[in-house]
Structure 1
Amino acid sequence: MRLRNKPWAKPLINANPEYIMVTPTDMQGKWQDRFEKSQPLSLEVGSGKGQFIIEMAKAYPERNFIALELQEAAIGIILKKQLELKLPNLQLILGDGANLTEYFAPAEIAALYLNFSDPWPKTRHEKRRLTYRDFLAQYEAILDPDGELQFKTDNQGLFEFSLVSMNNYGMAFDFVALDLHKDARVTDNIETEYEQKFASKGGRIYELVAHFKR
């Protein structure tokens, strides 16, 4: 969902380079330098307003996290929250999820999260879906050999497409949930803002966790 323009976002971003990168290609292979400690690095592609990645950073201080968001207004909202929290294991990127291999070195990421990505429902737009094979190739390149990809959506069509796309790519599935919030196997689900609202109205959430075969 595209947010309205926030006139304050750009000045805030420019004033806080210690928390956010606007030239992420400069950091390829050097992301650990941005954190207080060198720890396994997790990336969320399309972080929205940041609830998921912030709560993950709070819950797992032994891991480092990066929020990547294309919308200046959205990443500005996350930055506002981070300026209050000053989490030592959270960094932000204003950038495009289509350029991950330009931002990260091979095997630099331990876990990658895709939460409620745009479903691009028209067939002619399938190449824009974040689980299309071209994106999967980028994820494979930047993920550690033992790294995992976690994907959540409320869109059944996108979920089915993603299962097929990942299977055809040769990925292995570690976990598949057709109704995440009613799945007894789940004990530590951290929600996005959208997920909370959608699930509270009875909507079904789909999730999968997968890895690349090496």
Structure 2
Amino acid sequence: MRLRNIPRAESVLKACREVMKEPALYRGCWDKVFGNENPVFIEIGMGKGQFLLTMAEQNPDVNFIGIERYSSVLLRAVEKYMERETQAPANIRFICMDAADIADVFAKGEVSGIYLNFSDPWPKARHARRRLTSKEYLSRYDKILACDGVVEFKTDNRGLFEFSLEEIRESDVWEIKERTFDLHGDEAMNRGNVMTEYEEKFSAAGNPICKLRAVRKA
């Protein structure tokens, strides 16, 4: 899908101090960026930012970093953040980058958890390695997650979800801790669930939401 260029995006992102302009400079020292040693959770493909902003507001003792590849998309999240003015949570940062480079930005064990919400399904088989739950990306996550780190994935795309389950099952490193094909109908897994904009839209249309949690094998 071709994204519409928004001329003001670059200037707005540049002006926002919470947008990290050269994120690789902070590899291994994100605790200094936040000024504390609280756990760091990242969302890859944060879209308009509703999920991460809500998580940051509800969990002040956790640091959150939203990663988005396109400036025109990240702009929406940053503007939503800036609208909060004095009420904006201090425990959030933003990065505009390709997630394939996350090992250049985070050191081994520096990240406690990764959220993947309604990621691009890349439906063509030849693009499978670009899916954020492919074995290629699972290998990247292994390089930055803490020993007890977790990967959480939500989607309404049944095919992508089944692909993700299989990639994890075939992994020597990862295992599925929890999974459901109907998140909102699963009382245990839905407890405390924070919805994204897409999740609200898809669930309102009657689409079941799939979710999994993956951890390292013991």
Tell me the TM-score normalised to structure 1 length: 0.95
For residues 185 and 35 of structure 2, the distance between their equivalents in structure 1, rounded to whole angstroms, comes to 37
Is the Cα–Cα contact under 8 Å of residues 26 and 33 in structure 2 kept in the other structure? no
The yes-or-no answer on 1:106 pairing with 2:105 is: no
- Partner residue of 2:183? 180
- Partner residue of 2:29? 30
- Partner residue of 2:158? 156
3-state SS of the aligned residue for 1:75? helix
- Structure 2, gaps ≥5 residues long: none
Report deviation, 1:26.
1.1
The yes-or-no answer on 1:199 pairing with 2:203 is: yes
3-state SS of the aligned residue for 2:170? helix
Match of 2:213 among 188, 191, 209: 209
Report deviation, 1:132.
1.0
- Partner residue of 1:60? 59
Report deviation, 1:38.
2.4
Report deviation, 1:36.
4.2
- Structure 1, gaps ≥5 residues long: none
For residues 174 and 4 of structure 1, the distance between their equivalents in structure 2, rounded to whole angstroms, comes to 39
Deviates more, 1:171-180 or 1:47-56: 171-180
Deviation per CA, 1:93-131: give whole Å up to 9, x if none: 011111110110001000100011111111111111111
Aligned length: 213
Deviation per CA, 1:45-66: give whole Å up to 9, x if none: 0000101110110111110000
User: RMSD in angstroms over aligned alpha carbons?
Assistant: 1.3
For residues 36 and 74 of structure 1, the distance between their equivalents in structure 2, rounded to whole angstroms, comes to 28
The yes-or-no answer on 1:95 pairing with 2:94 is: no
Is the Cα–Cα contact under 8 Å of residues 36 and 89 in structure 1 kept in the other structure? no
Matches for 1:78-89 after TM superposition, within 5 Å: 78-85=77-84, 86-89=88-91
Is the Cα–Cα contact under 8 Å of residues 118 and 156 in structure 2 kept in the other structure? yes
